Amino acid sequence: ELVDGAFVCCLPGMTPPFQKLAQSVPLVTINCDPTIYPYGVIHQDREAMRGCYQYLLERGHRKIGYLGARNGGNAERARRGAFGEAAAGMAVPALMRTAEDVKVEAGEAAMRAWLDQGVNDMTALICFNDTVAIGAMKACTDLGVKVPEELSIIGFDDIEMASYVRPGLTTFSQPRYEMGRAATEMMMALLAGKTPPAPARFLGKLVERESVANAI
């Protein structure tokens, strides 16, 4: 069935070949590469990571780690890059590991391996997303590492489960409503034969719960 336009969200783990679709119908993307898809909305992941890192610094943490995800796509590259820059700016080692996937099980396995090998006195951890973070929290619980007393953990995306796990997961939330509205306005402009503005960039906010404590 023919459509007048299409919205596409580039999720972690996807390699979306939407260029052909964009040749046939107006296409508005969400969190896709703006150098490939000119019309879309983007969350500023680099700025978000810098905000998370600064938040931990303000809580007294200096030995901060990052647990990424191998198939995290553009978001993983942006978050990992910003984390490395933040660590370099503090002249401290960039403690980084990578989960094999973006799911809870992968986060748990990666964190379990990290803990088994030693975490170099790491006091705080930023994870690629909430599911990886929840998996990391489970590994900590199973291996007797107290969150947040011994290890503070931050996630990304503020999924529903983040408020149900214990301790509640501190996470960086994307402004979904505002991004969706901007994407809709872009689509309406395209359907009306108008040229929309450049990709709209948004920055969410840190949602504080109970998974971060002050460094001792």
Please tell me whether residues 153 and 71 are part of one structural domain: yes
User: What is the total count of domains within the chain?
Assistant: 2
Residue 215 inside a domain? The answer is no
Q: What CATH number is attached to the domain comprising 84?
A: 3.40.50.2300
Residue 168 inside a domain? The answer is yes
Condensed to tens digits (0 to 9), the pLDDT of residues 16-73 reads: 566 667 677 888 999 988 888 889 999 999 999 999 999 999 999 999 999 999 989 8
Q: Count other C-beta atoms under 10 Å from residue 49's C-beta.
A: 25
Q: Between these two residues, 113 and 13, which has the higher pLDDT value?
A: 113
Q: Between these two residues, 70 and 196, which has the higher pLDDT value?
A: 70
pLDDT band at 12 (very low <50, low <70, confident <90, very high): low
Q: Which pair of tokens denotes residue 164?
A: 């149900």
Please tell me whether residues 14 and 90 are part of one structural domain: no
Please tell me whether residues 59 and 37 are part of one structural domain: no
Please tell me whether residues 18 and 119 are part of one structural domain: no
CA 48 – CA 123 distance, rounded (Å)? 20
Condensed to tens digits (0 to 9), the pLDDT of residues 133-179 reads: 999 999 999 999 999 999 999 999 999 999 999 999 999 999 999 99
pLDDT band at 101 (very low <50, low <70, confident <90, very high): very high
204 closest CA partner among 75, 109, 101, 90? 75
Please tell me whether residues 26 and 79 are part of one structural domain: no
Q: Please give the residue range of the domain that contains residue 134.
A: 46-172
Please tell me whether residues 80 and 161 are part of one structural domain: yes
pLDDT band at 120 (very low <50, low <70, confident <90, very high): confident
Please tell me whether residues 187 and 99 are part of one structural domain: no
Residue 214 inside a domain? The answer is no
What is the DSSP code string of 89-141?
Answer: HTTS--EEEEESSSSHHHHHHHHHHHHHH--TT--EEEESSHHHHHHHHHHHH
DSSP 8-state symbol, 208: -
Residue 212 inside a domain? The answer is no
Structural contact between residues 169 and 209, judged by C-beta atoms closer than 8 angstroms = yes
Please tell me whether residues 166 and 185 are part of one structural domain: no
